[in-house]
Chains A and B, each alone.
Chain A
Amino acid sequence: MIWSTWRQHRPEALACLAGLAAAAAAILYADASVGLLRTNTDLVQDIRLALMAAPLLVGVFVGAPLVARDLEQGTHRLVWTQGTTRSRWLRVKLLLVFSVVAAAAALLAGLLTAALFSTPEHVDRWYWFDFLAPAFVAYVVFALWLGIALGAVIGRTYPAMAATLVLFVVARAVVEGILRPRYLPPLSIRIVDFGTIDIPRGMSADWPVGYAYYDAHGHPMSLDDILALMNRDRVSIPTPNLAAHGLSGWAYFQPDARFWLFQGIETAIFLGLAALLAGLAYHWLARRVT
């Protein structure tokens, strides 16, 4: 069955291999030439863009058609009625594809991680959060199983690809934008002057996740409110010092020490979702009515 899985998905496999080779080559080249930490160069930005897109491409072009194409074209009526049972066919095929894809992702992310940390220069880890080994592999695995599950349930290739695209982007945006800053309660430092956040020396590697301003009674104030207030009082209190206006402000950070913990949490979230989706896909297909 290894041959039949390879033969059936040969185009995708070759495309992934080509993509993997190109990305690895780009990373090695960038590392050797400008250095990956030159994040203001086009080359590094392009590499980041490609790696950002990679899990999505895997989900849409490998995961979604994996089962959907057979269902859509009716060839499941051919392959599920040979001498191999449906569950064996699915088990072998899905596990095989999953293993290969996960290994390729681990290889690529491992390469990048090693290249990033190979120099003694300081790395802004939070800036590379999405691309380091555990998180990147989790995104790819999640995207793959999302595609497979949607392909199984929807049963048609193009709609499954579209749904995978949308749901993957939403999932990543929600987790990264809303959940990640809150995995653990952030630390805070006081903002002294409005408009200036003095970052103490030891906190330069920490990840800023937000700020908040309050009035004397503890009610939240928006930036516009504060500007209006300071404008109103600019003659009497001509200083941006918040305390002078009876206001207070706080800046929130996730300390650098928590970095790997956060990687672990995010990885666990996406791997957990992937496991749920795998279960859903398998269960759905095992009981599917033709």
Chain B
Amino acid sequence: MTVCLEAAGLGMRYRSTWALRGCDLRIPAGRITALVGPNGAGKTTLLHLAVGLLRPTEGSVRVLGWIPAAEPDLVLARLGFVAQDTPLYRRYSVAETLRLGRALNRRWDEAAATDRLRRLRIPLDRRVGRLSGGQRAQVALALALAKRPELLLLDEPLASLDPLARRQFLQELMDAVAGDGLAVVLSSHLVAELERVCDHLVLLDGGRVRLAGDIEGVVAEHRLLVGPREAARPAGVHVVAAEQAQRQTTLWVRGEPPDLAAGWGVSPLSLEDVVLAYLAGPAPGEAAPEAAVEVSA
């Protein structure tokens, strides 16, 4: 299994705060990865480090095998990136925007880009500033795809889009993946909308990786246990989060309890529930996990 993005002990400091610290990561190639976490978790910082806009304070990051800051030519030629809020030159027409891409990239498939935009009925001679948010996002996506990248990084691409625009964006993205087989990393602070599209997950919180793995495995490995308050904690599972009510204890756990005492009910968790459990912080009485939880494929 090849790795398209990996980080080792990656850290980034702005003035006195660490936006990322001790970040270890291995994102497999050929996957659509969801990079999730609350605002300020370090998602944008991680993506900016991967794309070479930032230089790490400590540790290293490799994209498609190369270090972005050291070999920008090699990395940028194979990497597509759409930054947060899809920055584009508002006064340029759509056609001029594509021309800009053609001028700055060696490999460029103008025909694919114009075909895609025509199919979406986005007029090529209209100024970018006059397009709707959804259309701008499509232009930014078409721009990033026209260089035929091996890996596409998207920083909160759906954030300011209405549901229809979101659906259309994901349709175009999935169509490109199905056609070209590129790997994608998309960041979002919403998990639910990424679940149908992504097959791999990286959860960042407070600048560290808390959970990483194939989504199917993550969902299969985590469970909800509900039992009477006085009952002993089941052994053989790792408790991610816990909640005490008057009569009842609720545990979010990873692992399969070998045998459950009477009174304990088990139910599956949705991906969003698993993520929320990890974000809730360590369960009372548990130590904060130092190492990230990695679920292998």
Mark A residues whose CB is within 8 Å of B.
1, 3-4, 7-8, 73-86, 89, 287, 289-290
Shortest Cβ gap from B127 to chain A (Å): 13
Given contacts A4-B100, A4-B103, A77-B53, contact A83 B87 (CB under 8 A): no
- Which residues of chain B have C-beta atoms less than 8 A from A287's C-beta? 55
A to B contact number (C-beta, < 8 Å): 69
Bound complex: CA A81 to CA B49 (Å): 11
- Assuming the A-B contacts A7-B92, A77-B53, A81-B79, are A1 and B85 also in contact, with contact meaning beta carbons closer than 8 angstroms in the complex? no
Known interface pairs A80-B53, A289-B14. Does A74 touch B83 (Cβ–Cβ under 8 Å)? yes
- Cα A75 to Cα B53 in complex, Å, equals 12
CB–CB A75/B87 < 8 A: yes
Nearest A residue to B45 via CB reads A290
Give how many B residues have a beta carbon under 8 Å from the other chain's beta carbons. Answer: 29
17 contacts between A and B (CB under 8 A): A4-B103, A7-B92, A7-B96, A8-B89, A75-B87, A75-B88, A77-B48, A79-B100, A80-B52, A81-B52, A81-B53, A81-B83, A82-B104, A83-B76, A83-B106, A84-B76, A84-B105
Q: Are B103 and A1 in contact (CB under 8 A)?
A: yes
Quote the shortest CB–CB distance from B6 to chain A (angstroms): 19
B261 CB-CB contact with A under 8 Å: no
With the chains together, A290 CA to B88 CA distance in Å? 17
Q: How far, in Å, is B25 (CB) from chain A's closest CB?
A: 20
Question: Which residue of chain B lies nearest to A8 when distances are taken between CB atoms in the complex?
Answer: B89
**Complexed CA–CA distance, A85 and B100 (Å):** 14
Task: Check if B147 is an interface residue, CB within 8 A of chain A.
Answer: yes
The answer to whether residues A290 and B53 also contact, given A82-B105, A83-B104 and a CB cut-off of 8 A, is yes
- Min Cβ gap B53→A in Å is 5
| Closest beta carbon of chain B to A251's beta carbon, Å | 57
Asked if B51 and A81 sit within 8 Å, CB to CB, the answer is yes
* Bound Cα distance from A3 to B100, whole angstroms: 8
The answer to the question of B72 belonging to the interface, with a C-beta cut-off of 8 Å to chain A, is yes
Chain B residue at minimal CB-CB distance from A83: B105
Report A-chain residues with C-beta under 8 Å of the C-beta of B105.
82-84
Known interface pairs A74-B85, A77-B83, A77-B87. Does A85 touch B99 (Cβ–Cβ under 8 Å)? no
Interface residues of B in 200-215 (CB under 8 A from A): none
CA distance A67 to B99 in the complex (A): 21
- State the 5 A-B residue pairs at the shortest beta-carbon distance, nearest first: A83-B105, A82-B104, A77-B83, A85-B72, A74-B87
Task: Say if the beta carbon of B101 comes within 8 Å of chain A.
Answer: yes
Alpha-carbon gap, A287 to B69, bound state (A)? 10
Residue of A nearest to B14 (CB): A289
Give bound CA distance, A77 to B14, whole Å: 18
- Mask, B62-87, CB within 8 Å of A = 1, is 00000000001100110101010101
Shortest C-beta distance, A235 to chain B (Å), equals: 75
B120 at the interface (CB under 8 A from A): no
Q: A74-B85, A77-B83, A290-B54 are in contact. List 12 more A-B contacts (CB 8 A).
A: A7-B96, A8-B89, A76-B53, A78-B87, A79-B100, A80-B53, A81-B76, A81-B81, A82-B76, A83-B147, A84-B76, A85-B73
- Scoring B87, B105, B106 by chain A CB atoms within 10 A of each residue's CB, the highest score goes to B87
